Chains A and B, each alone.
Chain A
Amino acid sequence: MKRRLVATPGAWLVWGAVGFFFVMLAGVIGSVLVSSFGRRWFDTWLPESWTDQWYGQAWTEFTLPAVLVVTIEVSMLVVLISVLVGVPASYVLARRKFPGRRLLYLLFLLPILMPPITYGIPLATVLYKYGFAGNMSGVVLANLVPSIPFVILTMTPFIEQVDPAIERAARMCGARTWQVFARILAPLLVPGILAASILVLVRTVGMFELTFLTAGPDSQTLVVALYYTMSAAGIRAQQSVDAMAVIYTSMMLVLLVVALRFVNPTQLVARVKEDVD
């Protein structure tokens, strides 16, 4: 098919909308970026003078290194546990038919469908009752609630497309279940597991509500710490908050760029049939 050079009005409208969205987005990101490098910025187009003091301040005063360590520890633990727990479950869901399978699937779907606040508040209450909340174990446990189902929902279709004949062949050769897992399935599932882990990582780093409800003063992840600095207005210069937000976003951006090397965002739900013309 030859493309016409002159676009139709519909095309103009669509590309205009996309352009408008990106202009707004650039404005939002740009104004934070500019503000984080500005000394003072009030009623002008650009700040009067530039500085990088806010970044240094964020690093030292805000105890950014400690917060980063907590964030990394929490998200690594969540990824590890949810993969270890979720992958075997998705294997059974992908391969086996048994009574109650649909019900189970629905049960695993629910934590993703419910707003985090609805189960976060009772969960935090329960965790406080048993002494888990207010420290890192509570934050990890709370973040597992949406993460395990998320791993299951992304891994089940992935396992379904691995040819079961390979496993049967291994069994014919005398492999036991765990051997099939370790020697046959695990290597085949590595790309899927990587994709799921990176998505869980991104979700956990960005998860506000559950961490906010269960974290204590020394178990806050970056989002929650940022929220506290921003809502405690007046204590800290706005530029300082901007600088921290920029640090957070750059970190997430690195994560996502890495993620996109493994996952094509358009292939999350269906295998894409690329057009061949």
Chain B
Amino acid sequence: MTEKTALRHRLAERGVDRQLLLLLPALLAVLILFVYPFAYGMGLSFQGGLGAYRTFFEDAYQRDTIWTTLQLALPAAFLNVAASVPIAYRMRGRFRGKRLLTTLLVVPITLGTVLTAEGLLNFLGPTGWFNRVLLDAGLVDAPLRLTNNYWGVFFSLVITGFPFAFLLILSYLSGIDPTLERAAATLGAGWWPRFHRITLPLLAPGLATTFCLTFVLAFSVFPSAILVGDPAGTTRVISIAAYHAAYEAYDYSLASAIAVVMGVVELAVVAAVLGVRSLFYTGSTGGKG
């Protein structure tokens, strides 16, 4: 009895007691619904030794999906973040209509894949308004081909990803204490030194996080690659390959292997971004004030 109490005291000293049981439901849910299936999928993918992986990497049609996906996701994520920074920088203060503008920017999140796809097909298609304007203005001789190829998917990634990146960056920027920049201005720093010596380093962690989240969003592109892309050719992204293996070829081993490869590639990019980020300023960003 005393030994039991002693153990309990020792554990409580390190912060372990009955209150931690509150964590249990969430932990169980994640273990049962995420970790177990993941491990199960891992097991499936190694069922025939490395056979499934070999099938994937030896077949150029399958292997190239990694490159196809990265080619879509990296530029899209980069554009979304790079365009958000100057816009958010200009809007970080208080001005009339800010609430309206942020609300308008949330609208694309409500569109959903199908409306975005339909809209892009209608609007950017050969007889759509965009090409009509270009033709009537004499800018092009023949309608531009912007749908059912790389660009269709790219635009859908920008439409869904940009507002997301923008809102995140705006909130990171608003979290930076504005007095820091005012102090620099008092000391005679111009616009550019203020931005790249003060704001940018403080923004770096937020930039890295935003880039990662936008990249994750773009990397898992699936329905729009089918609907506005060219799912058999230039936009056959890795999720399509995984889906086909699982639900059309019924090769669960290969499908799980593709899913694992997909996860590894994605985590590698995220780790690389966070690694590069850690080379720069680390420490308090003055946020969470």
A98 touches B118 (CB 8 A): no
B28's nearest neighbour on chain A, judged by CB, is A85
Residues of A within 8 A of B270 (CB): 113
Residues of B within 8 A of A152 (CB): 26
B34 touches A45 (CB 8 A): no
For the complex, what is the distance from the CA of A89 to the CA of B24, rounded to whole Å?
8
A119 touches B262 (CB 8 A): no
For the complex, what is the distance from the CA of A123 to the CA of B39, rounded to whole Å?
10
A223 touches B106 (CB 8 A): no
**Which residues between 148 and 197 of chain B lie within 8 Å of chain A, taking CB atoms?**
155, 159, 162, 167-168, 170-172, 174-175, 177-178
B115 touches A121 (CB 8 A): no
Partner of B162, one of A21, A117, A223: A21
Interface: B280 (CB within 8 A): no
A252 touches B30 (CB 8 A): no
A146's nearest neighbour on chain B, judged by CB, is B34
In this complex, the interface size class of chain B, counting residues with CB under 8 Å from chain A, is 35 or more
For the complex, what is the distance from the CA of A148 to the CA of B122, rounded to whole Å?
37
Partner of A118, one of B44, B168, B171, B259: B259
Residues of B within 8 A of A86 (CB): 26
For the complex, what is the distance from the CA of A42 to the CA of B128, rounded to whole Å?
9
A32 touches B112 (CB 8 A): no
Quote the shortest CB–CB distance from A231 to chain B (angstroms): 7
Interface membership of chain A positions 57-85, coded 1 if the CB is closer than 8 angstroms to chain B and 0 otherwise: 00000000000000000000000000011
B128 touches A31 (CB 8 A): yes
Interface: A110 (CB within 8 A): yes
Given A84-B25, A122-B41, A271-B288: 9 more A-B contacts, CB < 8 Å: A88-B22, A89-B26, A115-B219, A115-B262, A119-B37, A121-B259, A122-B256, A223-B112, A265-B167
Interface residues of A (CB under 8 A from B): 10-11, 13-14, 17-18, 21-22, 24-25, 27-32, 35, 42-43, 45, 84-86, 88-89, 91-93, 96-99, 104, 107-108, 110-111, 113-119, 121-126, 141-142, 144-145, 148-149, 152, 157, 177, 202, 206, 208-209, 212, 223, 226-227, 230-231, 238, 241-242, 244-246, 248-249, 252-253, 255-257, 260, 265-275
Interface residues of B (CB under 8 A from A): 14-16, 19-20, 22-23, 25-27, 29-30, 33-38, 40-41, 44, 83, 86-87, 90, 92-94, 102-104, 106-120, 122-123, 127-130, 132, 155, 159, 162, 167-168, 170-172, 174-175, 177-178, 206, 212, 216, 219-220, 222-223, 226-227, 239, 242-243, 246, 252, 255-256, 259-260, 262-263, 266-267, 270, 287-289
What 8 pairs between A and B have smallest CB-CB spacing? A122-B41, A270-B175, A115-B220, A28-B119, A89-B26, A252-B110, A98-B15, A31-B122
